[in-house]
Structure 1
Amino acid sequence: MTTPQLQLSTQLQDTLSDRSRYDAMTKRLLWKLDLHVLPLLIVLWVACFTDRSNISNAKIAGLDRDIHLTGDQFNVSLIVFYVPFILIEIPSNLLLKKLQANRMLPLIMLLWGLVTCFTGFVQSYSGLLTTRFFLGLCEGGLFPGVVLYLMTLYKPQELQKRIAVYFASASLSGAFGGLLASFILKMDGVGGLAGWRWLFILEGLVTALLAVITWVFLPADGATAWFLTSEEREFAGTLRVKDDAQFIRLSESQPGSECARKDKDSDKASQTEVVQLSVQEIEHFEWREVIRGLTDVQTIYYSRSQGLGYSGSEAQLRTSPPFAPAAALTIFIAFLSDRMRIRGPFFLLSLTIAIAGYTIAIVAKDNSQRYAALFLIASGSWSSVPTALAMIPNNVLGHYKRAAASALVLSVSYFGAFIATFIYTPDQAPGYVRGHTIAVSFLAAGWLVMTGNMLYCVMENKARASGRRQANITKYEALWNAGKTRASIGDRHPDFRFTL
């Protein structure tokens, strides 16, 4: 069982042997990635939310009247968006590596921009359903694709704060979308078109233009990034964020492992140990890895805890003042989590805050108390999302396994938004006690599931430390020798430790 050896330039080998030079290059690289990549991804995300939610502004401006919607037809058009949106996430993530993120993400942005434009020309209920269906189909691959893309650029302990900044930027869509809509709707009657039609047409065209800009400037990966020097590209492409499954996480081993002891006894950075490893340069697609990603115990824990913890009032919270402290808390928790290299306890903290908010909302006697509860609900619900997503690269290794796992977690979480449309009904106003009670029950279940996951990680780490998982190597070698896999051993390796 042989794999290619890493070949590094002399200049990079010198950098790896000098801790101060290594740290300086890491900081410089992170700064450049944050400056050139995150803003483009935030543009994608804000455009996504703006185009998704502008239908509410269009309704106010007369969409339902002009195309003769009756009964619950408008609500059905909102629900139909989530059907393809949820189903496309896993297959979209599996295609990301082959098509490359810097091509696939702008492409789906271009497509949903065109669909948004076409929405401005619908004449009937069936036309609206069709455009909403294809809008969900195009937008569904964005969030999981971006998360998977970030996993190829940043190390696991650097990831949550980037996901948090990206995720929290959705708050901009509420202010930006509302302001933009107020100007565009004044075009009512121009060219013989209603204002709401111009809303879809112009916002769709802006999205299409932004997709072209993103296509030009978004790098495929660190190894080919146009804004990095040749040494930085080699550093990013061959060592920093190469799939942890290929390196058995030597540079991030937990205390007590053999590699961690080597690091403590050496004056050189642990990255010099990585250079000596055999690596598998290209991970080929295998359905076995996809199935492992979907059925892995970690994925099951994350999807259940995240799905059950999704806020039932999410859509309303995005455009309300309570989201401001929610965004701040999301980013603050992400920085702490990355610095301390723990995820689960912060996830439990977030859910606890959300549970407290829902509890206050249930017993509230007036709207002032209910409004105060929204601040806690928003803060707890939103801050939990990046934490759950950041746990995947820590505990699930291998590109396609990660692709399937991260997409499944997001699919389940969006399914929570789907069912929220059924548990929050107008007849419950103004207290929505039944909806809040169901939501807080889901959050409590999510809290218990994550606690179970943390206990599993503790027990599994102890089993590996005591040598009770050495048989994993034998099983992996049997699969390799039988030609059933060419994927890295990854998180099956006895030296691998799960992050709590």
Structure 2
Amino acid sequence: MKDTFHDEPDTEKGDFNHEELIATFSPAEQKKLIRRIDMRLVITLGFLYCVSLLDRTNLGAAYVAGMQGDLKMDATNNGYSITSLVFFITYTIFQIPATVIIRKIGPRLFLSGIVLFWGAVMLAFGFVPNWETMAGLRIILGALEAGLYPGSVYLLSTWYPRYELQKRNATFYLIGSMASGFGGILAYGLMQMDGLAGKAGWRWIFIIEGLLTCVLGIGSYILLVDFPEQSPKSWKFLNESEASFVIAKIQADRADASVEPFSMGRYLANCKDSKVWAYAALYMLTTTNSYSIAYFLPIILEKSMGFSVAKAQCLVAPPYVAAAIVMFVQAVYSDKWRLRGPIIAGNALMGLLGLGLLGYLDAAAPRYFGVFLATIAGKSCHN
């Protein structure tokens, strides 16, 4: 089949050709093909994002499991805060080159490779002698994890039209968000290995989760697929006509399926777009809230609200489950109504209320309810 969708589209004939090619697949065939892509791409990326969030946010669970005492993290050296912070330095810096590299070497190799390497770093967390060494490893972890989220979002955008994308982003993010909740329960279970092989329970949290990450990194190399135009070569995932159908849908929707050669000038030109800075500011503000909850909620539940270690680990889960449900519902209707702004504004107001309840009340019950509102708002705005 001739790849007419790779040619520069004209205003009439090009669009007609794309629609004509799409129409060669019946609605049932289209639905079956899209479902196959969803299972292979969205679910795999979701599980990779799951271990990504699990690995970067399990410090709080390890802290209440005894890490702070063994590594001498206290108020005099701010060991926990520094260890949490340094991750984001390299995580921020390396996101920009990651989006360039993924296009050069392909998403399957790039994404599976960084997951495997950061899994090895997580394993090393279980053997650190002091918090300074852990902080150094967190710097490396940030550099490796930097490419996953932007790379995954970019890869999904090359496979789906605009108003079919949000539900896939939500599913991808939903799977990852569930890890933030159930990570506490998993950590509590792993704590019970305390003393096994002479290692503290908090060390087993890093060792087992690191092994899991390595396994998923290897498995993702088999399951992930490259960009649509490369998919017939990616373990024979799609044949030529199926790949043509996918690219024709993208071209008919937004006319950017063909890949332009990389240009640093065009890449940096995006910095002149005010919308980019607005989205960045929004993302920064919601991320600040989300990560504050992820890193400090187990500590707040134990130290400030008075729950036991077991309850503190387990009570992390319910707000994230609620956030996942609300996030997915919002994504469905956001696509259906083709509406984003009012939903984001509503989430922002919800977040303000939730943070107020959490920060300024004394009773545990309304403060915990505030955690629900703040978590739902942060996760839904991310999506």
TM-score by length of 2: 0.80
Any idea what SS the aligned residue of 1:322 has?
Answer: helix
| Larger RCO (CA within 8 A; separation ≥ 6) | 2
Distance 1:317 1:201 in 2: 22
Give the residue type in structure 1 aligned to 2:324. Answer: A
Question: Paired residue for 2:129?
Answer: 123
Residue 373 of structure 1 deviates from its aligned partner by: 2.9
Aligned with 1:371 (options 364, 368, 371): 368
Change (3 A) 1:182 1:383: closer
Question: Paired residue for 1:165?
Answer: 171
TM-score by length of 1: 0.63
User: Higher helix fraction: Structure 1 or Structure 2?
Assistant: 2
Any idea what SS the aligned residue of 1:188 has?
Answer: coil
Question: Paired residue for 1:381?
Answer: 378
Question: Paired residue for 2:302?
Answer: none
Distance 1:363 1:195 in 2: 34
Aligned with 1:187 (options 193, 202, 205): 193
Deviation string 1:391-437 (CA, Å, 9 cap, x unpaired) is xxxxxxxxxxxxxxxxxxxxxxxxxxxxxxxxxxxxxxxxxxxxxxx
Distance 2:172 2:135 in 1: 29
Distance 1:323 1:189 in 2: 31
Distance 1:93 1:217 in 2: 21
Residue 6 of structure 1 deviates from its aligned partner by: 7.2
Aligned with 1:335 (options 328, 332, 350): 332
The alignment status of 1:324 with 2:321, answered yes or no, reads: yes
Aligned with 2:249 (options 236, 240, 250): 240
Change (3 A) 1:86 1:99: same
Residue 347 of structure 1 deviates from its aligned partner by: 1.6
Change (3 A) 1:191 1:180: same
Any idea what SS the aligned residue of 1:169 has?
Answer: helix
Residue 57 of structure 1 deviates from its aligned partner by: 3.0
Residue 213 of structure 1 deviates from its aligned partner by: 0.5
Aligned with 1:5 (options 4, 7, 31): 7
Give the residue type in structure 1 aligned to 2:46. Answer: I
Question: Paired residue for 2:309?
Answer: none
User: For residues 187-226 of structure 1, what are the structure 2 equivalents within 5 Å?
Assistant: 187-223=193-229, 224=231, 226=236
The alignment status of 1:228 with 2:238, answered yes or no, reads: yes
Change (3 A) 1:177 1:379: closer
The alignment status of 1:78 with 2:84, answered yes or no, reads: yes
Give the residue type in structure 2 aligned to 1:308. Answer: L
Query: Whose radius of gyration is greater, 1 or 2?
Result: 1
Question: Paired residue for 1:47?
Answer: 51
Aligned with 2:60 (options 56, 74, 88): 56
Distance 2:125 2:376 in 1: 33
Give the residue type in structure 2 aligned to 1:355. Answer: L
The alignment status of 1:314 with 2:293, answered yes or no, reads: yes
Give the residue type in structure 2 aligned to 1:234. Answer: S
Any idea what SS the aligned residue of 2:325 has?
Answer: helix
Aligned with 2:341 (options 334, 344, 351): 344
Q: Is the 8 A contact 1:15 1:21 kept in 2?
A: no
Any idea what SS the aligned residue of 2:192 has?
Answer: helix
Change (3 A) 1:288 1:244: farther
Distance 1:363 1:126 in 2: 33
Aligned with 1:298 (options 275, 278, 281): 275
- What is the root-mean-square deviation in Å for CA atoms of aligned residues? 3.0
Q: Name the stretch that deviates more: 353-362 or 214-223.
A: 353-362
Q: Is the 8 A contact 1:329 1:379 kept in 2?
A: yes
Q: Is the 8 A contact 2:53 2:176 kept in 1?
A: yes
Q: Is the 8 A contact 1:25 1:232 kept in 2?
A: no
Q: Is the 8 A contact 2:123 2:211 kept in 1?
A: yes
Gaps of 5+ in 1: 249-278, 387-500
Residue 84 of structure 1 deviates from its aligned partner by: 0.8
Deviation string 1:105-133 (CA, Å, 9 cap, x unpaired) is 11110111010111122112321111111
Residue 371 of structure 1 deviates from its aligned partner by: 2.6
Q: Is the 8 A contact 1:116 1:203 kept in 2?
A: yes
Aligned with 2:142 (options 120, 136, 139): 136
Distance 1:286 1:201 in 2: 42
Give the residue type in structure 1 aligned to 2:378. Answer: S
Question: Paired residue for 1:16?
Answer: 20
For these two proteins, the number of residue pairs brought into alignment is 347
Residue 332 of structure 1 deviates from its aligned partner by: 0.8
Q: Is the 8 A contact 1:85 1:139 kept in 2?
A: yes
User: For residues 438-453 of structure 1, what are the structure 2 equivalents within 5 Å?
Assistant: none
Distance 2:363 2:176 in 1: 29
Gaps of 5+ in 2: 10-15, 299-315
